[in-house]
Amino acid sequence: MRVLVGMSGGVDSSVAAALLLEQGHEVVGATLKLWGGASDSGCCSVADVDDARRVAQQLGVAHHVFSFTDDFDEHVVAPYVAEHAAGRTPNPCIECNRHLKFDRFLRRALVLGFDAVATGHHARVAVTQAGFELRRGADQAKDQSYVLHVLGQEQLARILLPVGDLRKDEVRRRAAALGLRTAAKPDSQDVCFITASGGRSAFLGARTGLHPADVVDRGGAPIGRVDAVELVTIGQRRGLGAAGGTGRPRYAVEVDVPGRRVVVGDSDDLLRGSVQLAKPSWVDTPPADGSAVLAQISAHGPALVARWATGRVAWTQPQRAVAPGQAVVLYDATDPDRCLGGGTAS
Protein backbone atom coordinates (compact mmCIF):
# COMPACT_ATOMS: atom_id res chain seq x y z
CA MET A 1 0.00 0.00 0.00
CA ARG A 2 1.23 3.52 -0.81
CA VAL A 3 0.90 5.65 2.32
CA LEU A 4 1.47 9.37 2.75
CA VAL A 5 2.43 9.98 6.38
CA GLY A 6 1.74 13.34 7.96
CA MET A 7 5.03 13.99 9.77
CA SER A 8 4.70 16.84 12.26
CA GLY A 9 8.25 16.62 13.54
CA GLY A 10 7.17 14.83 16.71
CA VAL A 11 7.96 11.37 18.00
CA ASP A 12 4.51 9.87 17.34
CA SER A 13 4.42 10.59 13.61
CA SER A 14 8.09 9.59 13.32
CA VAL A 15 7.34 6.16 14.77
CA ALA A 16 4.16 5.90 12.70
CA ALA A 17 6.27 6.18 9.55
CA ALA A 18 8.78 3.65 10.86
CA LEU A 19 6.07 1.12 11.73
CA LEU A 20 4.51 1.37 8.30
CA LEU A 21 7.90 0.72 6.71
CA GLU A 22 8.34 -2.34 8.92
CA GLN A 23 4.94 -3.56 7.73
CA GLY A 24 6.12 -3.39 4.12
CA HIS A 25 4.22 -0.33 2.93
CA GLU A 26 5.58 2.19 0.45
CA VAL A 27 5.96 5.29 2.62
CA VAL A 28 6.41 8.96 1.81
CA GLY A 29 6.50 11.68 4.46
CA ALA A 30 4.81 15.04 4.24
CA THR A 31 4.82 17.97 6.64
CA LEU A 32 1.94 20.42 6.53
CA LYS A 33 2.86 24.08 6.64
CA LEU A 34 -0.30 25.45 8.17
CA TRP A 35 0.51 28.59 10.10
CA GLY A 36 2.45 31.30 8.35
CA GLY A 37 3.07 33.49 11.39
CA ALA A 38 5.31 33.23 14.43
CA SER A 39 5.25 29.90 16.27
CA ASP A 40 7.25 28.88 19.32
CA SER A 41 5.01 26.46 21.16
CA GLY A 42 3.11 24.28 18.74
CA CYS A 43 3.81 22.04 15.75
CA CYS A 44 4.35 24.53 12.94
CA SER A 45 7.80 25.92 13.65
CA VAL A 46 10.78 25.78 11.30
CA ALA A 47 12.48 23.42 13.76
CA ASP A 48 9.57 20.98 13.53
CA VAL A 49 9.74 20.92 9.74
CA ASP A 50 13.49 20.27 9.98
CA ASP A 51 12.96 17.46 12.50
CA ALA A 52 10.43 15.79 10.18
CA ARG A 53 12.79 16.10 7.21
CA ARG A 54 15.72 14.67 9.16
CA VAL A 55 13.65 11.72 10.44
CA ALA A 56 12.53 10.98 6.88
CA GLN A 57 16.21 10.93 5.87
CA GLN A 58 16.99 8.56 8.73
CA LEU A 59 14.20 6.24 7.57
CA GLY A 60 15.22 6.52 3.93
CA VAL A 61 11.90 7.91 2.67
CA ALA A 62 11.08 10.92 0.55
CA HIS A 63 9.77 14.00 2.33
CA HIS A 64 7.65 16.88 1.10
CA VAL A 65 6.23 20.07 2.59
CA PHE A 66 2.67 21.07 1.65
CA SER A 67 1.62 24.64 2.28
CA PHE A 68 -2.03 24.92 3.30
CA THR A 69 -1.79 28.28 5.01
CA ASP A 70 -4.76 29.83 3.20
CA ASP A 71 -7.05 26.96 4.19
CA PHE A 72 -5.73 27.08 7.74
CA ASP A 73 -6.44 30.79 8.02
CA GLU A 74 -9.95 30.32 6.66
CA HIS A 75 -11.03 27.20 8.52
CA VAL A 76 -9.07 27.37 11.79
CA VAL A 77 -7.64 30.80 12.61
CA ALA A 78 -10.55 32.98 11.48
CA PRO A 79 -13.18 30.84 13.31
CA TYR A 80 -10.96 30.81 16.41
CA VAL A 81 -10.93 34.61 16.47
CA ALA A 82 -14.66 34.86 15.69
CA GLU A 83 -15.61 32.40 18.44
CA HIS A 84 -13.66 34.32 21.07
CA ALA A 85 -15.18 37.60 19.84
CA ALA A 86 -18.62 36.03 20.37
CA GLY A 87 -17.78 34.81 23.88
CA ARG A 88 -17.54 31.16 22.87
CA THR A 89 -14.82 28.57 23.50
CA PRO A 90 -13.24 27.26 20.27
CA ASN A 91 -11.30 24.05 19.74
CA PRO A 92 -8.91 24.76 16.84
CA CYS A 93 -7.34 21.29 16.90
CA ILE A 94 -10.69 19.71 16.04
CA GLU A 95 -11.25 22.15 13.19
CA CYS A 96 -7.73 21.49 11.90
CA ASN A 97 -8.46 17.77 11.82
CA ARG A 98 -11.83 18.35 10.18
CA HIS A 99 -10.68 20.69 7.42
CA LEU A 100 -6.93 20.22 7.00
CA LYS A 101 -5.41 16.94 8.14
CA PHE A 102 -8.27 14.67 7.12
CA ASP A 103 -9.79 16.67 4.30
CA ARG A 104 -7.36 18.84 2.35
CA PHE A 105 -4.37 16.59 3.11
CA LEU A 106 -6.32 13.41 2.39
CA ARG A 107 -7.63 14.78 -0.90
CA ARG A 108 -4.10 15.80 -1.92
CA ALA A 109 -2.85 12.30 -1.13
CA LEU A 110 -5.52 10.64 -3.26
CA VAL A 111 -4.81 12.96 -6.19
CA LEU A 112 -1.12 11.99 -5.93
CA GLY A 113 -1.99 8.31 -6.13
CA PHE A 114 -1.65 7.26 -2.50
CA ASP A 115 -3.96 4.63 -1.05
CA ALA A 116 -4.11 6.10 2.45
CA VAL A 117 -2.77 8.73 4.80
CA ALA A 118 -1.33 8.07 8.24
CA THR A 119 -0.71 10.24 11.28
CA GLY A 120 0.72 9.81 14.76
CA HIS A 121 -2.60 10.24 16.57
CA HIS A 122 -3.24 8.00 19.56
CA ALA A 123 -6.47 6.43 18.39
CA ARG A 124 -7.47 3.32 16.47
CA VAL A 125 -9.48 2.52 13.36
CA ALA A 126 -11.21 -0.87 13.53
CA VAL A 127 -12.70 -2.65 10.51
CA THR A 128 -15.99 -4.45 11.16
CA GLN A 129 -18.65 -6.09 9.00
CA ALA A 130 -20.67 -2.88 9.31
CA GLY A 131 -17.85 -0.56 8.28
CA PHE A 132 -15.23 1.35 10.27
CA GLU A 133 -15.06 2.28 13.93
CA LEU A 134 -13.08 5.04 15.60
CA ARG A 135 -11.75 3.72 18.90
CA ARG A 136 -9.71 5.10 21.76
CA GLY A 137 -5.95 4.67 21.70
CA ALA A 138 -4.38 1.95 23.82
CA ASP A 139 -2.78 4.61 26.02
CA GLN A 140 -5.80 6.13 27.78
CA ALA A 141 -3.72 9.04 29.07
CA LYS A 142 -2.78 10.01 25.50
CA ASP A 143 -6.01 9.05 23.73
CA GLN A 144 -6.90 11.51 20.95
CA SER A 145 -10.22 10.11 19.75
CA TYR A 146 -11.88 13.22 21.22
CA VAL A 147 -10.26 15.49 18.62
CA LEU A 148 -10.90 12.96 15.82
CA HIS A 149 -14.63 12.52 16.43
CA VAL A 150 -15.42 14.52 13.26
CA LEU A 151 -14.15 11.69 11.02
CA GLY A 152 -16.73 9.69 9.11
CA GLN A 153 -16.73 6.43 7.19
CA GLU A 154 -15.27 7.92 4.01
CA GLN A 155 -12.23 9.29 5.87
CA LEU A 156 -11.72 6.28 8.13
CA ALA A 157 -11.55 4.02 5.09
CA ARG A 158 -8.40 5.88 4.02
CA ILE A 159 -6.71 6.51 7.37
CA LEU A 160 -4.02 4.56 9.23
CA LEU A 161 -3.12 5.30 12.85
CA PRO A 162 -0.08 3.08 13.48
CA VAL A 163 0.74 4.18 17.07
CA GLY A 164 -2.81 3.79 18.35
CA ASP A 165 -2.02 0.32 19.71
CA LEU A 166 1.03 1.53 21.65
CA ARG A 167 1.52 3.31 24.92
CA LYS A 168 3.49 6.54 24.74
CA ASP A 169 6.47 5.05 26.57
CA GLU A 170 6.53 2.25 23.98
CA VAL A 171 6.53 4.81 21.18
CA ARG A 172 9.54 6.55 22.71
CA ARG A 173 11.36 3.25 23.23
CA ARG A 174 10.88 2.32 19.59
CA ALA A 175 12.08 5.74 18.47
CA ALA A 176 15.17 5.44 20.67
CA ALA A 177 15.92 1.94 19.39
CA LEU A 178 15.79 3.29 15.82
CA GLY A 179 17.98 6.25 16.76
CA LEU A 180 15.36 8.77 15.66
CA ARG A 181 16.20 12.36 16.59
CA THR A 182 12.66 12.90 17.93
CA ALA A 183 12.81 10.08 20.50
CA ALA A 184 13.03 12.40 23.52
CA LYS A 185 11.32 15.42 22.00
CA PRO A 186 8.60 16.83 24.30
CA ASP A 187 4.99 16.63 23.16
CA SER A 188 3.42 19.73 21.66
CA GLN A 189 0.89 21.09 24.14
CA ASP A 190 -0.34 24.41 22.86
CA VAL A 191 -2.27 25.92 19.99
CA CYS A 192 0.34 26.15 17.24
CA PHE A 193 -0.46 29.73 16.23
CA ILE A 194 -0.44 31.14 19.77
CA THR A 195 3.09 32.00 20.88
CA ALA A 196 4.22 31.29 24.42
CA SER A 197 5.58 34.82 24.65
CA GLY A 198 2.43 36.66 23.57
CA GLY A 199 -0.38 34.25 24.43
CA ARG A 200 -4.05 34.53 23.50
CA SER A 201 -4.25 38.13 24.65
CA ALA A 202 -1.68 39.42 22.17
CA PHE A 203 -2.98 37.25 19.34
CA LEU A 204 -6.64 38.17 19.71
CA GLY A 205 -5.90 41.78 20.61
CA ALA A 206 -4.22 42.26 17.25
CA ARG A 207 -7.09 40.66 15.31
CA THR A 208 -10.39 41.48 16.96
CA GLY A 209 -9.68 43.89 19.82
CA LEU A 210 -10.20 43.10 23.49
CA HIS A 211 -12.61 44.94 25.72
CA PRO A 212 -12.81 45.38 29.50
CA ALA A 213 -15.98 44.27 31.23
CA ASP A 214 -17.76 44.58 34.56
CA VAL A 215 -17.89 41.56 36.84
CA VAL A 216 -21.19 41.28 38.72
CA ASP A 217 -22.82 38.72 40.97
CA ARG A 218 -26.06 36.90 40.21
CA GLY A 219 -28.03 39.81 41.63
CA GLY A 220 -26.24 42.34 39.42
CA ALA A 221 -24.12 43.86 42.20
CA PRO A 222 -20.70 45.01 40.90
CA ILE A 223 -17.70 43.02 42.10
CA GLY A 224 -14.78 43.95 39.86
CA ARG A 225 -13.48 44.25 36.32
CA VAL A 226 -11.71 42.09 33.75
CA ASP A 227 -9.38 43.44 31.10
CA ALA A 228 -10.77 41.30 28.27
CA VAL A 229 -14.27 39.82 28.29
CA GLU A 230 -13.39 37.86 25.12
CA LEU A 231 -10.89 35.79 27.11
CA VAL A 232 -13.33 34.69 29.83
CA THR A 233 -14.76 31.16 29.68
CA ILE A 234 -17.78 29.70 31.44
CA GLY A 235 -16.53 27.95 34.58
CA GLN A 236 -13.41 30.12 34.84
CA ARG A 237 -12.34 30.95 38.38
CA ARG A 238 -9.02 32.77 38.17
CA GLY A 239 -8.47 36.26 36.87
CA LEU A 240 -11.97 37.53 37.61
CA GLY A 241 -11.16 39.78 40.55
CA ALA A 242 -14.36 38.47 42.02
CA ALA A 243 -13.78 37.35 45.56
CA GLY A 244 -16.47 39.73 46.71
CA GLY A 245 -15.67 39.17 50.36
CA THR A 246 -17.70 35.95 50.49
CA GLY A 247 -14.78 33.66 51.23
CA ARG A 248 -16.17 31.23 48.63
CA PRO A 249 -14.78 30.56 45.17
CA ARG A 250 -16.55 32.45 42.39
CA TYR A 251 -16.91 31.19 38.83
CA ALA A 252 -17.94 32.78 35.56
CA VAL A 253 -21.49 31.57 34.93
CA GLU A 254 -22.39 33.97 32.12
CA VAL A 255 -20.25 35.85 29.59
CA ASP A 256 -21.98 38.73 27.79
CA VAL A 257 -19.52 40.11 25.24
CA PRO A 258 -21.79 42.76 23.65
CA GLY A 259 -22.93 43.95 27.10
CA ARG A 260 -19.34 43.90 28.43
CA ARG A 261 -20.40 41.94 31.49
CA VAL A 262 -19.33 38.75 33.28
CA VAL A 263 -21.70 37.22 35.81
CA VAL A 264 -20.14 35.14 38.57
CA GLY A 265 -21.65 32.68 41.00
CA ASP A 266 -20.97 29.71 43.21
CA SER A 267 -20.10 26.25 41.92
CA ASP A 268 -23.75 25.19 42.26
CA ASP A 269 -24.72 27.95 39.83
CA LEU A 270 -22.75 26.12 37.15
CA LEU A 271 -24.74 22.90 37.40
CA ARG A 272 -26.84 21.93 34.40
CA GLY A 273 -28.93 18.87 33.63
CA SER A 274 -28.31 18.86 29.89
CA VAL A 275 -26.61 20.54 26.95
CA GLN A 276 -27.80 21.09 23.38
CA LEU A 277 -25.36 20.16 20.61
CA ALA A 278 -24.99 22.15 17.42
CA LYS A 279 -23.76 20.71 14.10
CA PRO A 280 -23.37 17.11 15.31
CA SER A 281 -21.28 14.77 13.18
CA TRP A 282 -21.20 10.99 13.43
CA VAL A 283 -18.59 8.33 12.78
CA ASP A 284 -21.39 6.17 11.39
CA THR A 285 -25.06 6.37 12.33
CA PRO A 286 -26.22 8.60 15.20
CA PRO A 287 -27.34 6.99 18.45
CA ALA A 288 -31.05 6.32 18.76
CA ASP A 289 -33.12 8.87 20.67
CA GLY A 290 -33.27 7.96 24.33
CA SER A 291 -30.19 5.74 24.21
CA ALA A 292 -27.53 5.75 26.90
CA VAL A 293 -24.17 7.26 25.91
CA LEU A 294 -20.94 8.36 27.54
CA ALA A 295 -20.33 12.09 27.06
CA GLN A 296 -16.88 13.66 27.30
CA ILE A 297 -16.43 17.44 27.37
CA SER A 298 -12.64 17.79 27.26
CA ALA A 299 -9.79 15.97 25.55
CA HIS A 300 -8.77 13.98 28.62
CA GLY A 301 -11.74 14.45 30.92
CA PRO A 302 -14.01 11.67 32.17
CA ALA A 303 -16.74 10.25 29.96
CA LEU A 304 -19.95 10.60 31.96
CA VAL A 305 -23.16 8.61 31.65
CA ALA A 306 -25.88 10.51 29.81
CA ARG A 307 -28.80 10.07 27.43
CA TRP A 308 -29.05 11.30 23.87
CA ALA A 309 -32.33 12.68 22.55
CA THR A 310 -33.02 14.97 19.57
CA GLY A 311 -29.71 16.79 19.68
CA ARG A 312 -29.49 17.10 23.44
CA VAL A 313 -27.23 15.32 25.92
CA ALA A 314 -28.97 14.87 29.27
CA TRP A 315 -26.77 13.91 32.21
CA THR A 316 -27.94 11.31 34.69
CA GLN A 317 -26.72 13.73 37.37
CA PRO A 318 -26.26 17.51 37.00
CA GLN A 319 -22.81 18.51 35.76
CA ARG A 320 -20.89 21.74 35.50
CA ALA A 321 -22.03 23.82 32.55
CA VAL A 322 -20.31 23.22 29.24
CA ALA A 323 -18.97 26.43 27.71
CA PRO A 324 -20.67 27.38 24.43
CA GLY A 325 -18.50 26.22 21.53
CA GLN A 326 -16.86 23.45 23.55
CA ALA A 327 -16.88 20.00 21.95
CA VAL A 328 -19.01 17.29 23.53
CA VAL A 329 -17.97 13.86 22.25
CA LEU A 330 -20.08 10.74 22.68
CA TYR A 331 -18.95 7.17 23.22
CA ASP A 332 -20.86 3.88 23.26
CA ALA A 333 -22.17 3.18 26.77
CA THR A 334 -21.73 -0.58 26.24
CA ASP A 335 -18.35 -0.27 24.50
CA PRO A 336 -16.59 2.76 26.05
CA ASP A 337 -13.68 2.68 23.60
CA ARG A 338 -15.95 3.24 20.58
CA CYS A 339 -16.40 6.87 19.61
CA LEU A 340 -19.81 7.68 18.13
CA GLY A 341 -19.26 11.32 17.17
CA GLY A 342 -20.26 14.58 18.78
CA GLY A 343 -20.94 18.26 18.37
CA THR A 344 -20.43 21.65 20.01
CA ALA A 345 -22.32 23.04 22.95
CA SER A 346 -24.74 25.75 21.86
User: pLDDT (tens digit, 9 = 90+) per residue, 285-307?
Assistant: 999 999 999 999 999 999 999 99
The confidence band for 38, taking pLDDT boundaries of 50, 70 and 90, is: low
Q: How confident is the model at residue 37 (pLDDT cuts 50, 70, 90)?
A: confident
Pick from 119-133, 152-166, 189-203, 240-254: least confident = 240-254
CATH number of the domain located at residue range(s) 2-121+161-178 in this protein: 3.40.50.620
Q: What is the DSSP letter of 225?
A: E
Every domain of the chain and the residues it spans: 2-121+161-178, 211-265, 270-345
Q: pLDDT value at position 45?
A: 73
Q: Count Cβ atoms within 10 A of the Cβ of residue 221 and give its class: 0-12 exposed, 13-18 middle, 19 or more buried.
A: exposed
How far apart CA 318 and CA 118 sit, in angstroms, is: 39
pLDDT band at 39 (very low <50, low <70, confident <90, very high): low
Judge contact between 34 and 48, C-beta under 8 A: no
Residue 46: pLDDT band (50, 70, 90) is: confident
Would you call 84 helix, strand, or coil by DSSP?
A: helix
Q: For the chain, first and last CA: distance in Å?
A: 42
The CA distance from 322 to 331, in Å, is: 17
**Nearest residue to 232 via CA among 255, 206, 199, 216:** 255
User: Is 192 one of the catalytic residues?
Assistant: yes
C-alpha pair distances (Å), 109 with each of 22, 44, 122, 132 = 21, 20, 21, 20
pLDDT of residue 248: 78
Annotated active-site residue in 43, 44, 192, 339: 192
Q: For position 159, what pLDDT does the model report? A: 98
The CATH number, out of the four listed (3.40.640.10, 2.40.30.10, 3.90.700.10, 3.40.50.620), of the domain defined by the range 270-345 = 2.40.30.10
What percent of the chain is modeled with pLDDT above 90? 87
* Percent of the chain at pLDDT exceeding 70: 96
- pTM of the entire predicted model: 0.94
Catalytic residue among 43, 44, 96, 339: 96
Residue 89 in this model has a pLDDT that exceeds 90? yes
Question: Shortest CA distance to 274 belongs to which of 306, 241, 230?
Answer: 306
CA trace torsion 187, 345, 333, 92 (10° rounding): -20
Query: Catalytic annotation on 43?
Result: no
The predicted pLDDT at position 331 comes to 98
DSSP string of 135-191, one letter each residue = EE-SSTTT--GGGGTT--HHHHTTEE-GGGGS-HHHHHHHHHHHT-TTTTPPPP-S-
What does residue 230 show for φ and ψ, rounded to 5 degrees?
-65, -15
CATH numeric code, 211-265: 2.30.30.280
Cα(12)–Cα(174) distance, integer angstroms: 10
- The mean per-residue pLDDT over the stretch 168-187 comes to 96
* Average pLDDT of the segment spanning 65-81: 96
Distances (CA, A) of 264 to 24, 31, 116, 249, 275: 58, 44, 49, 10, 20
Calculate the alpha carbon distances from 287 to 290, 312, 313 in Å.
8, 11, 11
